[in-house]
Amino acid sequence: MVKVLVTGAAGFIGFYLSQRLLAQGDTVIGLDNLNSYYDVSLKEARLAQLENQPGFRFYKLDLADRESMAELFAQQQFEVVVHLAAQAGVRYSLKNPHAYVDSNLVGFMTILEGCRHSNIKHLVFASSSSVYGANKKVPFSVQDNVDCPVSLYAATKKANELMAHAYSHLYKIPMTGLRFFTVYGPWYRPDMALFLFTKAILSGQPIDVFNYGQMQRDFTYIDDVVEGMVRVMNKIPQSGEFGNSLPEGTSSAPYKLYNIGNNQPVQLLRLIEILEQCLGKTAIKTMLPMQPGDVPITYADVDDLMQDVGFRPNTPIEVGVEQFVNWYRSYYQV
């Protein structure tokens, strides 16, 4: 039994991880500011399922509130922190860049400071496949150079990795960053393509298909992501472990990075085809060019994950989309 802080607990991934940790007997302190980036009622519905379970306690807090965050760490004495809260979304970062600085940079600093002053045994934090930018070498490896982000969101996630490494090096706090690849499933975020497509197709509205449907994404089912996360939480990095996997061997910190992806990119047009089959309706497609900040492909190399924790995501896209559609129809009664 472990006492775990899960930030972003009312979010998509945080909700599922909290459920899994509670089911295995851990104590979970959930934190979320319940912001209005997307439908708050969906976040509240996730949270309602968690709050009924023994071992869960929720705090509505903003990461950027330094005093309240410091007080929370001092009071609760967490053993493990899983930091998932962030301002998400590549396209939204073009409209509201300051939100990403406040949440993803200032907010992450309060987490690092909390860990530094609280003797945390392991910090696991969310990074993103977006850090790879328009990398042309596939599949993407954690050893690849990621110094050319193509969106502010990606830049903040790369900054998180650098900030975490610095704190891990300075204070010998074990830290693991997880580069997620297009996570999807029931209780999905409403701003993501699969959700938007489903809503539009069922209502007979056209869908915007960017890059003329030629984009490829390494869609990763939520159950696979949570399984990988739980295994990584139990694999505390050792000093120098990450450095040994780098060509220069420069890092001596107890720090590690992993990709969590399905290792099988799917073309956007194929996703739409599967969705049409599950819904029994044909999409009205508006074919559009690539949007600023988007990349043509994401593709995860998960060899390190398999080697270190014995797991690789493997849920077929056909199975995952069907599960999402079944949830969507049930939740929205359509």
User: Do 284 and 207 meet the contact criterion of CB atoms below 8 Å apart?
Assistant: yes
User: Do 82 and 27 meet the contact criterion of CB atoms below 8 Å apart?
Assistant: no
- Return the number of other C-beta atoms located less than 10 Å from residue 246's C-beta: 11
What DSSP string describes 15-37? Answer: HHHHHHHHHTT-EEEEEE---SS
Active site annotation includes 328: no
SS3 content of the chain, % helix, strand, coil (to 5): 45, 15, 40
State how far Cα 317 lies from the chain centre: 18
Decide the pairing of beta strands 266-267 and 216-217: antiparallel
Q: b or e along 198-232 (b: 16 or more beta carbons within 10 Å of the residue's beta carbon)? A: bebbbeeeebebbbebebbbbbbbbbbbbbbbbeb
Alpha-carbon gap, residue 17 to 2, rounded angstroms: 14
Among 153, 255, 258, 299, the active-site one is 153
- Site of tokens 């085809």: 273
- Written as six digits, the tokens of 42 are 């969906």
Question: Which amino acids are annotated catalytic?
Answer: 153
